[in-house]
């Protein structure tokens, strides 16, 4: 028989929402939601709540949004007498003083097959590196970043067509279900077979910088394609077209190099409603793009709207 657990949930972005939703709909009780403070975002740079805060507000739950996890936050959490802390992409390192509050432990859903890709951007880095598989791991939260012993993992093939946007949604749903399996084991009083991470296999997923999205015409085409997939939707791979910013949302490798003859790196060429971009070491076919201030469109519509001619370039 499962015992009802009192849960504190810590999460911020859209990735964390499916885990929050499953917890909130379960037989357990979410007594508090920890999430990042409201931030400026979007075109108008308006102050917006996190996706997790929006979800928690719909359920009228107690919400804490500290800038840091200081002594006052610790005392607030102590007063809740919660059993367990569940973390999903919260965004702050949780100190030992808070980890010790929860008698049933603290558990994190992380979007990688640990110990590969500890850190802030595991899905981006897996796609950028061309990993054959991707997955999620449920682990204990310890003070060291994403280094705790693991309870469960699940993986899937990382096909070349997948973007970070695709995989974030898929990993969020997989992670939510996996976390519920772990919580049910804990609630039933059964033990978990913890597996320590092998430190010799650790890689780190550095936070994505906006300048990583600058279009590099000298890059190997296959590497550029991986970056386009990895940085879709954020920060995007961007160049300049007719003096305006252009974001490349999707592209594929070309298999006919004859079409690149007489082109210089950066040149655009239209071939039967296909849009080809010449690179220094080959070329790619652009599939979807977005001119700054306008909507994302497919290549055939881009060709028609902008009347692509000889001499048009992306820099």
**Paired sense of beta strands 274-279 and 268-271, if any:** antiparallel
- 2 pLDDT exceeds 80? no
State the pLDDT at residue 208. Answer: 95
Q: Which residues contact 229 (CB under 8 A, 6 or more apart)?
A: 127, 160, 161, 162, 163, 164, 250
Q: Higher pLDDT residue, 22 or 258?
A: 22
Residue 23 tokens read as: 């917890």
State the pLDDT at residue 170. Answer: 96
The CATH T-level fold of domain 210-306 is: 3.10.25
User: How much is the pTM?
Assistant: 0.93
- 43 pLDDT exceeds 80? no
Q: Looking at residue 199, what DSSP letter applies? A: G
Domain ranges (residues) in the chain? 6-205, 210-306
Query: 97-133 pLDDT, tens per residue?
Result: 999 999 999 999 999 999 999 999 999 999 999 999 9
Second CATH level (architecture) for the domain 6-205: 3-Layer(aba) Sandwich (3.40)
Do 299 and 287 meet the contact criterion of CB atoms below 8 Å apart? yes
- 1 pLDDT exceeds 60? no
State the pLDDT at residue 215. Answer: 97
- 42 pLDDT exceeds 80? no
Query: 142-169 pLDDT, tens per residue?
Result: 999 999 999 999 999 999 899 999 999 9
Which pLDDT band, with edges at 50, 70 and 90, does 258 fall under? confident
Q: Which residues contact 72 (CB under 8 A, 6 or more apart)?
A: 66
């Amino acid at each position: 028989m499962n015992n009802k657990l009192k849960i504190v949930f810590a999460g911020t972005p859209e990735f964390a929402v499916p885990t929050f939703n499953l917890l909130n709909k379960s037989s357990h009780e979410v007594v508090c939601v920890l999430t990042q403070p409201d931030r400026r975002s979007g075109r108008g740079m308006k102050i917006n709540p996190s996706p997790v805060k929006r979800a928690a507000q719909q359920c009228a739950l107690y919400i804490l949004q500290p800038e840091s996890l200081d002594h006052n936050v610790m005392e607030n959490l102590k007063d809740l007498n919660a059993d367990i802390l569940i973390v999903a992409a919260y965004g702050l390192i949780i100190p030992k003083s808070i980890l010790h509050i929860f008698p049933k432990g603290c558990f994190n859903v992380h979007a990688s097959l640990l110990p590969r890709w500890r850190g802030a951007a595991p899905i981006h880095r897996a796609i950028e590196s061309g990993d054959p598989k991707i997955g999620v791991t449920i682990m204990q939260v310890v003070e060291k970043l994403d280094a705790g012993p693991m309870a469960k993992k699940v993986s899937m093939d990382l096909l070349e067509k997948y973007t970070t946007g695709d995989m974030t949604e898929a990993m969020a749903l997989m992670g939510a279900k996996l976390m519920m399996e772990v919580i049910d084991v804990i609630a039933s009083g059964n033990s978990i077979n913890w597996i320590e991470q092998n430190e010799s296999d650790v890689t780190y997923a550095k936070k994505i910088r906006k300048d990583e999205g600058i279009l590099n015409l000298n890059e190997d085409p296959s590497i550029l394609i991986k970056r386009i997939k990895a940085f879709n939707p954020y920060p995007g791979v961007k160049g300049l077209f007719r003096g305006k910013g252009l974001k490349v949302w999707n592209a594929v490798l070309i298999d006919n190099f004859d079409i690149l003859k007489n082109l210089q790196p950066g040149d655009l060429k239209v071939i039967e409603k296909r849009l080809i971009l010449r690179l220094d070491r080959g070329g790619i076919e652009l599939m979807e793009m977005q001119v700054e201030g306008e909507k994302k469109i497919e290549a055939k519509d881009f060709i028609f709207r902008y009347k692509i001619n000889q001499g048009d370039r992306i820099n």
